[in-house]
Amino acid sequence: MADQETKAQQDRIAKALSQVAADGSKFQKDPEARKELVASARELLDAAETPVESLLWHIWALPTRTVAARIAVDLKLFETATSNNGSPKTNEQFAAATGASPSLVKRITRTCASMNMLDEQGPGIYGPNALTKLLAQPQYAAGIIFCFDTTQNSFAQMPGYLRNTKFQNPESPVDGPFQFANKHNGHAFTWLTAHPEVFAAFHGYVHTLRTHRPAWTEMYPVKERLVEDLKMDASAFVDLGGGVGQTLQDFNKAVPEYTGRLVLQELGEVIGAATAMGVGEDKRIELQVHDFFTPQPIRGARAYFMRSVLHDWPDEQCRQILTHVKDAMEPGYSRILISDCVLADEKAAWQHMALDFYMMAQASSQERTETEWHVLIESCGLKIAGIYTKDQGNEGLIEVVIP
């Protein structure tokens, strides 16, 4: 039996090696093939590891990497590593940045080096690599701050929460894993606005991450659907729950021929943050305080845009949001544009499944498959006119109209 298992593993490794070689050759001629090479390299690693090695990676390495990265951000290790043109530094030099104990810093730096977040260049001497340089930038370190501070406690308590509910799917946005873990009675968003550092990290990280992914304007026929036949008396492009306005700013740059109104709708505290950042000073973007659980004040808009909004809410709340928008739409002219993940029914991308767990932990919500999107949209008396996607693991664009 052992010989059969060894032979099966050897065959799998040989097949994976062959695929890596093929994808490597393809990458030499076509840089766009890099993602295929990464996928085949992961398959090779999975094939070559023993089950015990895989187990230890999951229960030892991954949790350690996460907490070490969060502590490293507080200790300014990545910023220090890249200072002075990235010259090699000792643990004492790293410790000096925050006055931390060199003994503690030593434990963090060598852990980061073992996880490829720093380059070890000698005993107790470290320099930056490509990942270090990325994490030294505040907008990327913000991803570590937000994901850790908002979610790790919920992840740690999620098994206990699910045991407590006899393993029912979380469906209440104010009584889920986040509230159970944080002894918090409100929505996770309420907690977020009460923690300014994490709130700022959220907006910085989310926008920065999207600059590395296909823009929705690259997938969706913007000129045909939005610019042509635009009525100037009903021209609004409304971004519901649009944060501090980055999406509208990007849209304005990407589609300068769209001459209609650009309206950012958000809760008062977020509009306040956008105002403080200078959004709307040039009058191109209008700022409007609005709760999307109340009737939509702008009627007959050209488009009602929601990016990563509906994945924040269970179906019941999504139906409330969509119904309010539907009531304001002009049939045959208005459309809802939903920028969110569209999960594959089979072999879903790991990025989508990771986000699904994050949303369960934070908001008792979920990512949805194409079938689930159809069911949700049609339950509101609306119709999906098209779903536009590009590459695995990215957000899609769902166009919704009144039938």
Contact 288, 265 (CB under 8 A): yes
- Given 203, 207, 311, 324, the catalytic residue: 311
Pairing type for strands 303-307 and 335-340 reads parallel
Contact 269, 199 (CB under 8 A): no
Sheet order of strands, 396-401 included: 285-289, 262-266, 237-240, 303-307, 335-340, 396-401, 383-388
Closest CA to 387 of 340, 318, 331: 340
Separation of alpha carbons 186 and 199, rounded Å:
16
Closest CA to 94 of 66, 117, 115: 117
- Buried residues in 249-284 as b, exposed as e (16+ CB within 10 A): bbbbeeeeebebbbbbbbeeebbebbeeeebbeeee
Residue 184 annotated among the catalytic residues of the structure: no
Which residue bears the tokens 């929705």?
216
E strands within 162-259? 237-240
Contact 337, 397 (CB under 8 A): yes
Separation of alpha carbons 229 and 233, rounded Å:
12
In the three-class reduction of DSSP (H, G, I as helix; E, B as strand; rest coil), residue 345 is classed as coil
Separation of alpha carbons 323 and 328, rounded Å:
9
Closest CA to 217 of 253, 172, 164, 176: 253
Sheet order of strands, 119-122 included: 89-90, 125-127, 119-122
Contact 260, 236 (CB under 8 A): yes
Separation of alpha carbons 40 and 346, rounded Å:
18
Give catalytic residue positions.
311
